[in-house]
Structure formats: structure tokens, C-alpha cells
A = this chain, B = another copy of it.
Amino acid sequence: VTEEEESIQKNGKARDVPMRDESGTDSIKDGRDAFSWLIAPIKPEEFFQNAWERAPLHVKRTNFPDYYREILTSEKIHNIIRDNYILFSKNIDVTSYRNGKRETLNPPGRATPSIVWDFYNRGCSVRMLNPQTFCPELRKLNASLQDFFGCFVGANSYLTPANSQGFAPHYDDIEAFILQLEGKKHWKVYAPRKPGEVLPRFSSPNFTQEELQKPVLEVTLHPGDFLYFPRGFIHQASTEPGHHSLHLTVSCYQKNSWGDLLEKLLPAALAVAQEEDVEFRKGLPLNYLRHAGVSNSEQETAERQAFFAHLQKLLGRLMVHAPVDAAVDQMGKQFMHDALPPVLTTEEEKCSVFSEELLTINKDGRVSGSVALNLNTKVKLLRSFILRLVKEDDSNDNVQVYHCVDNSLEYHGEDPMMFEVSSEFAMAVEQLIHSYPEFISVSDLALDRKEDQLELADLLWKKGLLLTEKPLA
């Protein structure tokens, strides 16, 4: 733990808690505000400079035990189980860690409160997977954070009975934000054990206590407290006799590294290079199999040196051909599939296609009140990250619009949502992306014909991707 980090930990007592801003006017700003609130009084700049991907951070909030309370309570978990179709293994796990042995005790089938609390009363931890599916307040938080982080933000909740531990020491493949909701829990956090485990790509197996070194942070979380640690930091936590614990782990940055982008970029770059650059299509030298290969690796022949030098040269030329923007769009497309659908404020609902007031079914079965945008209507995208333009097929002029507005509340519950527009329309969508969060008139859309302006606006609005400045009369 560096000096700065210690100072953060000292200052971590939250005196001035900001209100969560829900103005809804700018999803980027909203996301940043949500994150500021999450880690207050630490400032985001401070956080990213000192903690992010580097060190654990504890924020104490002794005077604000209810800081996160509105998000989730054990009672709400009870209601979720009772009122929804919750399945063991898919939505909920009951687990235990006793005498160094970690067990998942899920029976098959539906989880009813009666079965779940039976396990709980017998000392099992109850982990709910992605409770945001069933919990609107958490969904709101995560949907907002994902606009800040630019990637899927998930969550698990952990309800642990007194005097127990539900999981073996291990590290995860995500950035972890721990929000203590009820009771208290004692945490031990350990630095990565070796360079190869710093910011790892995959979660670890369970460790024995013998495999651990000294923790870099040991702390008891109380209601309102916050704890962060980067992926790769081993952790374990337990409750004391007489005190249960409920916390939420909000997570992000799973498979969101430079390497993940390169996994999309490199094959594409090579494909382009092979198409555009004859050097990549030339035949290999006649004798390369005799000079390279593991069994030839100690032969420092001239041919071998020339061979390696040429490969190096070709690798150097790869970046010239690398379709970086297209690869980034593939990441963006993936994000649109992963993302939670946006959670609309009441105000936003009124200005969207989701407004209850738009349509009336008359007694005689006719539907009236359907209102249309006009050229003077002012519109903007519903969120900064509500859609992604992707150019996937060079054989025609169309552009694919991937979006998340219709995503199911369940992670990957539906196939990616996509529709196509012409390249002219795509330019106008681009305009909406760049003008965000400002409203622009339909008549200012970068399309020559008024009909096209109206058609595009109508299309995006019907899909639920647009907000109007004022509710449509």
C-alpha cells in the first residue's frame, strides 16, 4: 500500500455525501455523477489515478449507514424470490465454505423462499446473480454506470448468515465495487501473487489458506461502507457471530482490455493486409521449414535470421492495414448486446414512444391519439450509448444500427438487436451521436429531402431510440 493509497483510505470517511443527480439530460454526466456518488468523498480523478487497476480502496461511512440502502435490502431479496420465477444455479446460488471446503448446494428447479431460507438458516450464503434483472433501483444504478464505463456493469448480491463464510479465497476477472448494505463483514484483500496474475483475464480457482501471503488490506465493512479492489486481488470475507451481512458487488471491465480489442483487430488487420498488400500473399521461402521450428531454434543460420527479419517487417506493416475503427465498432456492438436497457425517468417516458399518454383504445376498438413527429420537433438520442453504427458488409451500401433499448432485463436474454439504414441515413444518425446531449430539429438532420428527415426521425422514435424535447401533444 503506497502512501497515497493510505491517505485515500484515511480520507475515506464520507462527510459530504452528494445527492445522486438524476436530471436525465446527459447520460454521460449522469453516469459520472452516479460513480461520484458511489465513491464519495473520493473524486473520480483521484480514484483513477490512485486506485483503478492498481490498489484496493476503502471508504468508511460511519455516519451514513443508509447510504446504499435504497438499492437493495434482504427484504427485497425475499420479495424477489417470492414474486418471480427464480431458478437455482441460473439466478441464485446457495454456498458454503467450511473447514477449507467450498460447496455449492443448489438443488434443481425453482428457488422458493422456503427452500432458500432453510439453507440460509443452516448457515449457507445466498448469492443472487444479476439481481438488477428483478430490482429496478439497482438496474437504474448499473444502467447509469455503464454509460460512464462504456461497458457492461453487472452485480451479484451476497447474503451471509452470522458466523460464516460462503466462499473460498479467490480472485475475479472483474473490477469489484463492494457496497455494504446490512450487517457487517470482515474482509481480507491480498495483492496479486505474481506478475502473471496482475489484471488477469480469467478468474482463479479456489485457493487454500496456505497459498496466501499477508493481506494488503484488512477491514470490517459496516452499512454504507464502500470497498474497491482490482481484478486479480485475492479476497475472502466472513461474518462474526451475531451479525449477518448483506453486500452488493457491482462489477465491470470483464474482457474489456487492450488484448480483447486486439483479438478483434488482429484477424481483421491480417485479412485486410492479405487483401491489400501482395507482400503478405507471397510464398514462404523454399527452405523455411528447415530453418525455423522449435527443433531448429538453436541454428543461427543466415536464412533463419532473414526469415525472422522478414516476419518482423511484415508485422510492422500490419498497423498500416489495421481497421482499428471497425474493430472498436465490434467492441461497441458487443457492448450493445451486453448492455442493460436504459431505465427512463418519468419525464423521459413522457417524451418517448413509451409514453402512456400517446394512444387511446376507444370503446369501439379504434385506436386514436397516435402522434407523429414533425419537422420542428426537437430530438436527441435517448442515451449516449443507446446505439452503435457498424459497417459490416462491404458488398452493399447499408450500415447496421445495433442498439440496446429492447434488450431483455436478463443478461443476453435476447439476440443482438439490429436494423439497417442506408449510408445517407447513417450520416444523419452520426449527426445525432455527435450532437448529443443537445436537441436538434428534425429539419436540421443532415438529409436533403424533408421526407427523409421525417422518415428517419419516425423510424428512430418508433424504435424507442429518440427523446423529444417536449412531450408530443
Contacts and interface: CB of A to CB of B under 8 A. Distances in A.
Interface of A: 48, 52-53, 74-75, 77-78, 82, 85, 87, 108-110, 112-115, 117-118, 120-121, 148-150, 159, 161-162, 175, 182-183, 195-196, 198-201, 242-246, 253, 256-263, 265-267, 270, 273-276, 278-284, 286-290, 292-297, 299, 308, 310-312, 314-316, 318-319, 322, 324-326, 328-329, 331-332, 335, 353-354, 356, 358-359, 361, 364-367, 370, 384-385, 388-391, 405-406, 408-409, 414, 417-419, 426, 429-430, 433-434, 461-464
Contacts of A280: 257-259, 262
A364 B183 contact: yes
Nearest to A75: B361
Max chain B CB contacts within 10 Å: which of A53, A260, A315, A335? A315
B273 A367 contact: no
B150 A82 contact: no
B312 A284 contact: no
Nearest to A366: B244
Given A200-B281, A296-B325, A365 B183 contact: yes
A114 B293 CA distance: 32
B295 A118 contact: no
B257 A281 contact: yes
Nearest to A112: B353
A51 B408 CA distance: 44
A209 B279 CA distance: 30
Contacts of A110: 405-406, 417, 464
18 contacts: A108-B417, A110-B405, A110-B406, A121-B367, A121-B370, A150-B286, A244-B364, A244-B366, A245-B365, A257-B283, A258-B279, A258-B314, A289-B332, A289-B385, A292-B325, A294-B391, A295-B429, A295-B434
Contact of A292 (B114, B149, B324): B324
Q: Across the A-B interface, give the 3 residue pairs with the lowest CB-CB distance, nearest first.
A: A244-B365, A110-B406, A292-B328
B281 A201 contact: yes
Contacts of A149: 286
Contacts of A52: 283
A283 B53 contact: yes
B259 A274 contact: yes
Contacts of A296: 325
A258 B359 contact: no
A116 B325 CA distance: 37
A82 B359 CA distance: 11
Given A159-B365, A258-B279, A361-B78, A384 B290 contact: yes
Contacts of A414: 87
Contacts of A273: 259
Contact of A150 (B85, B120, B290, B366): B290
Nearest to A266: B266
Contact of A284 (B77, B257, B385, B408): B257
A393 to B, nearest CB: 13
Contacts of A419: 108-109
B462 A115 contact: yes
Contact of A114 (B114, B308, B408, B462): B462
Given A112-B354, A276-B196, A270 B263 contact: yes
Contact of A324 (B108, B161, B311, B329): B311
A110 B408 CA distance: 10
Given A245-B365, A263-B270, A296-B325, 7 more contacts: A52-B283, A85-B409, A87-B414, A112-B353, A113-B358, A114-B370, A289-B385
A113 B366 CA distance: 13
Interface centre among A293, A312, A388, A408, by most chain B C-beta atoms within 10 angstroms, is A293
A268 to B, nearest CB: 11
A53 B282 contact: yes
